Amino acid sequence: MGMRRYLHPLTQQPPEGNETMKTYKIAVIPGDGTGPEVTQEAIKVLKVASDKFGFKLDLHEYDFGGERFLRTGEVLPDSAIDEMRQYDSMLLGAIGHPDVKPGILEKGILLRLRFELEQYINLRPIKLYRPQDCPLKDKTPEHIDFIVVRENNEGLYLGLGGNAFKGKPNEVATQELVNTRQGVERCLRYAFDLTRKRNKTKTLTLCAKTNVLTFAHDLWWRAFNEVGDQDYTDVKREYAHVDATCMWMVKNPEWFDVIVTCNMFGDIITDLGAMIQGGMGIAAGGNINPNGVSMFEPIGGSAPKYTGMGVINPLAAIFSGQMMLDVLGETAAAQAIESAAQKVLVNDIKSLNAGKMGYTTSQVGDLVAAALAG
Ligand code: IPM
Ligand code: MN
């Protein structure tokens, strides 16, 4: 973490009673579509938090995304990975452009950063703040407050595989489900630690498909129980097949505290999770390397049709900023952002959906910033 000596810009003296101020060097990738407009609001709020809680943010913007690719033909410069390693954290808006073939930017930017920076955890809180945002009958904020730990570096996403006879009637295509004991175990350990730290019902649910994926997910199952027996006997273990997980998330979301799952299933169940917490306008995620640089993003995508209209909800981006501060260790500031956003949610915003908030994107940012400044 960058500890830099902070001097007053005019006097060149350290501020009284505060010899050094922590400075976090952050890479900002606003990205495509509505990414830039929501990222701007997250930064607005983060700046208020940094003033209030006495740390500094040193922001460096990068133009990775569809526009740059269409202009230059370059998806991600090779130097980018090593450059990112020098940051304390990364903030991402959205990647995805309607004029670029699906897969190019996603694989070339988002997945490459996740893989090469070993952000092996994708953390996605599912938390309902207001009853009216939940499409489930009779479910209120007390029923929906869990977190999904998605393995983020392997599984189907590794992209091993290939094809033969492409375009012919006898075409063969494979894409392999790859899991390593090491990759699975480090993800499980993170999930166990998190369950312990949350200290809620202290229940960790493994979501997998052991009845069909009898090799890959048997590895998850054995590792889950071995690690649990060895080091986490205080954490209660549950198991649910992925199809049943979807069912319970709708019928009894209150059963969940922490869910740990593979990359592909995590992708799917967290979109379902986003819907029960009020939609993409509020769903945030963190791609976490517990020993390196992590990257935080609203999970909603670039929503190209809303670009530049000022109608998209910036709360997901603001919550991803909150997660970033939490992981950086600025827990009080993170908590204050959550409370401020919660206040604005409860008092001001009509709906979480784009165009229906009763405010523009930047007005929502202003409201949260003002509530935080208090
Ligand atoms: C997500 C997204 C990505 C994923 C896509 C854009 C590659 O859906 O972050 O959930 O599948 O991981
Ligand atoms: Mn997804």
Q: What is the DSSP string of 232-296?
A: -TTSEEEEEEHHHHHHHHHH-GGG-SEEEE-HHHHHHHHHHHHHHTT-TTT-EEEEE-TTS-EEE
Of 276, 306, 339, the domain-final residue: 276
- How far the first Cα of the chain sits from its last, in Å, is 28
pTM: 0.94
Residues 193 and 81 placed together within one structural domain of the fold: no
Whether 65 is in a domain gets the answer yes
Q: Is the CB of 106 under 6 A from ligand 1?
A: yes
- How many domains does the chain contain in total? 2
pLDDT at 9 over 70: no
C-alpha radius of gyration, the chain, whole number: 21
What secondary structure letter does DSSP report for 91?
E
Q: Which residue among 114, 122, 261, 267 has the greatest number of ligand 1 atoms within 8 angstroms of its CB, and so is best to mutate?
A: 267
Q: Is the CB of 110 under 6 A from ligand 1?
A: yes
Percentage, residues of the chain above pLDDT 70: 95
Residues 240 and 298 placed together within one structural domain of the fold: no
Non-local CB neighbours of 228 within 8 Å, separated by 6+ positions:
192, 204, 235, 237
pLDDT at residue 11 in the model: 56
Residues 270 and 292 placed together within one structural domain of the fold: no
Ligand nearest to the CA of 123: 1
Residues 104 and 12 placed together within one structural domain of the fold: yes
Boundaries of domain holding 226: 156-276
pLDDT at 269 over 90: yes
- Which alpha helices (DSSP H) does 64-199 contain, by range? 66-72, 79-85, 104-105, 112-116, 181-198
User: Rounded to the nearest whole angstrom, what is the distance from the C-alpha of residue 202 to the centroid of ligand 1?
Assistant: 28
Alpha carbon nearest to ligand 1 atom 8, residue: 267
Alpha carbon nearest to ligand 1 atom 4, residue: 267
pLDDT band, residue 20 (cuts 50/70/90): confident
Residues 334 and 353 placed together within one structural domain of the fold: yes
